[in-house]
Amino acid sequence: MMNLNLDYDRAIKIAENVYWVGFFDTQSGLHCNPYLIIDGDEAVVIDSGSRPHFPVVMMKILQTGIDPSSISALIYQHYDPDLCGNIPNFEDLIAREDLKIISDANNNMFIRHYSVTSKLYALDPMEFCYTFSSGRRLTFHSTPYCHSTGSFVTFDEQSGILFTSDLFGSFGGKWELFLELTSDCHGCRAFQDCPRGRSYCPLPDILKFHQTIMPSERALRYALERISAIPCAMLAPQHGSIIHKPEDIVEVTKQLAALEDVGIDGVLGERSYASLGDVSAVEKRLQPDDQ
């Protein structure tokens, strides 16, 4: 059980030189998970967080023993303020003219409203890869419309961790950094009446999060299809819990791939595409009465 005796007031190592530096908010069901990767005298932060969370995130980065000036890049997997809000704070403290802010071009047109001094780098010209001086690579994989146009995930080839942004995330009052399922959870759908008598099941919160945040079933399934080809050993979402056991990665992926009523599909229900788009009411409403 990986959740025993974790001190959420400190940076938590999730792999060699990879740390969770997030904010454990007991008042909120949306737990944000910035991550720090250290490689020699270089470091990268993924989805650094909101402005109110900056003091906690930076304190945990300092706890790892690195100097903020060693952070050479900030990676943002979409442009929401809970990921990007503290960019100016990071820029001020890092104080590097060569600091890179990396995201998809579709995200950068929004991220530029956060950034003050740093150059923005798009994924395409970088060939969807960031390489440390040591040769260690982070590869980027597009997951469009999950949940923004320019959403993507980041794979650390060395650790085998896939940083999944909102994918595999969760929203709920009960939270642990590492997801803990048992073999009985696999294939189970008795979420409200656990056969083992547990008072809380984390799976409904994961499924509900995706139904709420993702725009459609097609977008979610396409993203999962892309992710399934990445040889990852751990899923580290920006919200919710890290999925660290192979059998749990398989189970959650299967449940999400079968999920219905996602986004607009849940709003429209059984309506077909052919039944959508009738705008004749506009003409009727605006037509002069004497015609």
29-80, pLDDT tens digit by residue? 678 899 999 999 999 999 999 999 899 999 999 999 999 999 999 999 999 9
Domain holding 237: CATH number? 3.60.15.10
- Write the single-letter amino acid at 267: V
Q: Is the dihedral of CA 140, 143, 148, 150 positive or negative?
A: positive
| 4 domain residue, yes or no | no
268 contacts 219 by C-beta, under 8 angstroms: no
Mean pLDDT of the chain: 91
**What mean pLDDT do residues 140-152 have?**
96
User: Does 7 fall in a domain?
Assistant: no
Looking at residue 184, what is its pLDDT? 75
Identify the residue with better confidence: 27 or 208. Answer: 208
The whole-number pLDDT of residue 189 equals 74
With cut-offs at 50, 70 and 90, classify the pLDDT of residue 197.
low
Largest CA distance in the chain: 78
Q: pLDDT at position 29, please?
A: 62
Q: Is residue 151 part of a domain?
A: yes
Q: What confidence category does residue 4 fall into, taking pLDDT thresholds of 50, 70 and 90? A: low
Sheet containing 161-165: give its strands across.
129-131, 137-142, 152-156, 161-165, 234-237
pLDDT of 1 reads 44
Count of C-beta atoms within a 10 Å radius of residue 84: 26
Is 138:154 a contact under the CB 8 Å cutoff?
Answer: yes
Q: How confident is the model at residue 282 (pLDDT cuts 50, 70, 90)?
A: confident
Number of domains in the chain: 1
Q: Which domain holds residue 126?
A: 12-286
pLDDT-above-90 percentage for the chain: 74
pTM: 0.92
Residue 3 has pLDDT above 60, yes or no: no
pLDDT number for residue 285: 83
Would 37 be classed as within a structural domain? Answer: yes
Domain assignment present for residue 214? The answer is yes
Query: Residue 185: what are its φ and ψ, rounded to 5°?
Result: -75, -25
Q: Provide the 3-class DSSP secondary structure of residue 57.
A: helix
Retrieve residue 20's tokens: 């969770």
Q: Does residue 2 lie within any of the structural domains?
A: no
Give CA–CA dist 198/196, Å, rounded. Answer: 6
b/e map of 235-265 (b: 16 or more CB within 10 Å)? bbbbbbbbbbeeebbebbbebbeebeebbeb
Q: Are strands 12-15 and 18-20 parallel, antiparallel or unpaired?
A: antiparallel
Tell me, what's the pLDDT at 23?
84
| Mean pLDDT value across residues 239-265 | 95
From 110, 120, 56, 123, select the one nearest 80 (Cα to Cα): 110
Q: Is residue 170 part of a domain?
A: yes
Q: What is the DSSP letter of 186?
A: T
Overall average pLDDT of the 177-189 stretch: 82
Inter-residue contact 208 to 250 (CB < 8 Å): no
Question: pLDDT for 77-129, tens place per residue?
Answer: 999 999 899 999 999 999 999 999 999 999 999 999 998 889 999 999 999 99
Within-domain flag for 258:
yes
